[in-house]
């Protein structure tokens, strides 16, 4: 019996590779997003700690610390704004990538169902042919025995 060959197997293979590539890209985007979130939280935490230290300080050095904090906060606020924008952009790209991965997965799953159906039909047809050949051999053997008697 011939081996099952599906004519759309190449398309399924290509879609499988494409899904793997898109998943890797999604993982990279997620890693970048996580890193940016971590950096944002770190910057915000540093500013909060500085502010808490200044609030707790009752010494004459407090005015110098406040001045330092105000200069630093302007720079950090700009960096935090940039980080938030980068995070928003990464989130949009991540959502788009998820949609792409899901679309490819659905297409691939459809192809896999078609392949399974085609393989089942092939097996059914092969079994039918094999049964037909077996019936013919049995009939021929029966006729030969009848002629021999």
* Tens digit of each residue's pLDDT (9 = 90 or more) over 59-70: 778 778 788 878
Give the burial class of 130: count Cβ atoms within 10 A of its Cβ; 0-12 exposed, 13-18 middle, 19 or more buried: exposed
Note whether 12 and 111 are within 8 A (CB).
Answer: yes
Sign, CA dihedral 108-111-117-123, equals negative
How far apart (Å, rounded) are the C-alpha atoms in residues 114 and 120?
Answer: 10
What is the tens place of the pLDDT at every residue in 36-83? 999 999 999 988 888 888 888 777 787 787 888 788 888 889 999 999
pTM beyond 0.85: the answer is no
């Amino acid at each position: 019996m011939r081996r099952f060959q599906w004519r759309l197997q190449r398309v399924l293979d290509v879609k499988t590779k494409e899904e793997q590539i898109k998943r890797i890209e999604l993982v990279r985007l997620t890693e970048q997003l996580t890193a940016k979130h971590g950096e944002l939280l770190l910057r915000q935490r540093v500013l909060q700690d500085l502010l808490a230290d200044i609030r707790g300080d009752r010494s004459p050095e407090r005015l110098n610390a406040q001045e330092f904090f105000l200069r630093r906060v302007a720079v950090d606020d700009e960096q935090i704004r940039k980080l938030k924008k980068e995070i928003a952009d990464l989130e949009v790209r991540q959502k788009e990538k998820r949609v792409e991965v899901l679309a490819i997965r659905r297409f691939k799953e459809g192809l896999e169902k078609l392949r399974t159906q085609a393989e089942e039909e092939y097996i059914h047809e092969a079994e039918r042919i094999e049964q037909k050949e077996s019936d013919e051999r049995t009939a021929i053997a029966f006729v030969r025995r009848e002629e021999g008697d």
